[in-house]
Chain A
Amino acid sequence: MSASKLRHPAVAAPRAIALVAAIEAAGALFLRQFLLAEDGRLVVALLALFGAALVTMQRRPALEARIEAAFADQARFATGLGLVLVLLFPFVLEKSTYALHLLVIGQLYAVLALALNFQLGSANIPNFATGASYGIGAYASALLALNWDVSFWLALPAAAIVATIFGFLLGVPSMRTRDSYLALVTIAFGVVIHQLLNNLEFTGGPNGLVGIPAPELFGHSFAAPLVILGHDLPSQANFYYLSAVLVGIAILFARRVHDSRVGLAWNALRADELAARCQGINATWYKVLAFAVDAFLAGFAGTIYAFYVGFISPDNFTFLVSVTIMTMVIAGGMDNTLGVIVGAFLLTLLPEKLRAFSDYRILFFGVTVIAFLMIRPQGLFPQRLRRYGA
């Protein structure tokens, strides 16, 4: 890291605000064009633009540092403007249900990637079972709703707790292994969960669960179009806002944990487990904790998914889902909240937008991981050093 990156170059307040506003607006505009692009050539052109922006940042660290400083100085403004953009975004999508659907899925994957980031990014625990936790959350909430008429709002925390318990169940035996063996244990766990969902009677077997009722809030059904100030938004907008709230919670979670003793302990374990233990860090406990946090957030995402599509089957939660989530974390940037979210959106949208990718989805993810590990192992947005205000 160069010295210029460490010193926050002074940026005058109005210029910083303008810079932040310009970047956030450009990001939103880019996302809108990307979502609405029909023509494959336009998609490729937009991708090229995105790539060019990244290369520019890589080539000119001073520019990157200036942007970073502007966001750091105007953090409140940046957050506020970001919220406004998220709120207004569905209104500029020309009522495209497809675009909104992609956004919902993208946001759910962003939550899953943030969940996995606690493990893979912060603590370097290769967990291939995030997809399984996602499935456990989805099934737990769907079963509660179908069998006992539990409302979505109660099923949400209940499913997260069930997923967390399973996370602990996975975490405890995993502690007897490490590195590639740990990865194998988590893969096995994911396969076992998939097989159980496929073969158990009460989970509906391979047919899954159907007819999960849409959530309601103050008498408004999430299956109905959303009317705001005379504007009609497709019903997907309900879930867009719901999953946006979940992304917000996940970001808050991620940042608070990162800036605490727990985040530091995870980082220490990632760097050198033996040395971490010799600084008084209970390695077993912190690793199990990472499993639990991952499962907790994944359980939330699973619940929203189940109630959003109304129909779930074991094939929604295969090993490949876990691999996809892992690819998002690696490509986006380990231990960097923004990077992980960008990675999740990019890898959700790309296969949808480019047929060529869609047919070879797995190949595409494989190539992405290899390319990133070779060319830019730190991901699109590398991790930042903590600063403690001073």
Chain B
Amino acid sequence: MRAAVDAPVILEGRGLTMRFGGLVAMAEVDFTLRKGEILGIIGPNGAGKSTLLNIVTGLYRPSSGEVRLEGERINGLPAHRIVAKGIARTFQSSRLFGDLSVLDNVVIGRHVHMRCGLLDAILRRGRAEAELREAARRAAELLEAVSRTLYAQRHRPAAELPQADRRRLEIARALASEPKVLLLDEPSSGMDDADTDALMADIRAIRAARPELALMIIEHDMRLVASLPNRVLVLDYGQKLADGLYEEVRLIPRVQEAYLGRKAAQHARP
């Protein structure tokens, strides 16, 4: 499962720049993501990690530069179209549909795979219901595969779930759209070590079941960054500092400075 160096590129960004008024949140960032690869994105707060995710998922339109999914330009498309093209994401602060059941959250994740509109619902009820029931069946299957505990709670409102299960449900909901690329925004934030271990096991299991799936993970937890990603991309002040294997990247002085501060970094150097 290691190195996916010769797998084809599935997602790439070229010269991505994001300006909010006079503030440059991201400047000329390039990145590539290959099929089956896990790319970690690290950097201090305000480095532009979330901005990058928001650009890729269509929530922001980059001021310049482009994003290509399997060679097709996707920047400029609205967020809901980008999901249909095969990019799904989770959020740093859990954004579940709290007053709906756990199962419904995953069924909504299958939205792009359902076709029935309002007129179908009213005039062709059988078709609309069959479609929804099929989506519910698949959603239940997915839930069961992702986590037995979630599956057992599938008829509870999502808001009642404990934190670790909420994060799992977000991942399940994102997987329901059967994406080619999955973006995880700080999946371990607010988790203790045991929960983070469970999360890493989950991600590994998801990957094992979907060898083609490419992942981009924004992460602060260095334990996770050290063990999961094939490659890491370091951002600081909206610019790319480094891109490579974790073991190599972490030795780069500028990366250490960005993380630890100049003095501490000098101190840490052998």
Contacts and interface: CB of A to CB of B under 8 A. Distances in A.
B136 interface: yes
Contacts, number: 125
A272 interface: yes
B99 A257 contact: no
Contacts of B88: 278
Interface residues of A, number: 37
A272 B76 CA distance: 22
Nearest to B158: A271
B95 A274 contact: yes
A260 interface: yes
B89 A262 contact: no
B108 A264 contact: yes
A386 B115 CA distance: 19
A387 interface: yes
B80 A283 contact: yes
Interface string A275-293: 1111111110000010001
A139 B170 CA distance: 49
Interface stretch (B27-35, B119-127, B186-194, B251-259): B119-127
B230 interface: no
Contacts of B131: 261
Interface secondary structure of B, over-half rule: helix
B3 to A, nearest CB: 30
Nearest to B118: A262
Contacts of B91: 275, 278
Contacts of A386: 100-101, 103-104
A229 interface: no
B133 A282 contact: no
Interface size class of B (residues with CB under 8 A): 35 or more
A295 to B, nearest CB: 13
Interface secondary structure of A, over-half rule: helix
Contacts of B59: 274, 277-278
A292 to B, nearest CB: 8
A151 interface: no
Interface string A353-390: 00000000000000000000000000000010111111
B111 A279 contact: yes
B155 A280 contact: no
A123 interface: no
Contact of A262 (B84, B97, B117): B117
A200 B108 CA distance: 46
A55 interface: no
A241 interface: no
A385 B101 contact: yes
Interface in A237-256: 252-253, 256
Nearest first, the 4 A-B pairs at minimum CB distance are A260-B121, A280-B83, A280-B112, A271-B97
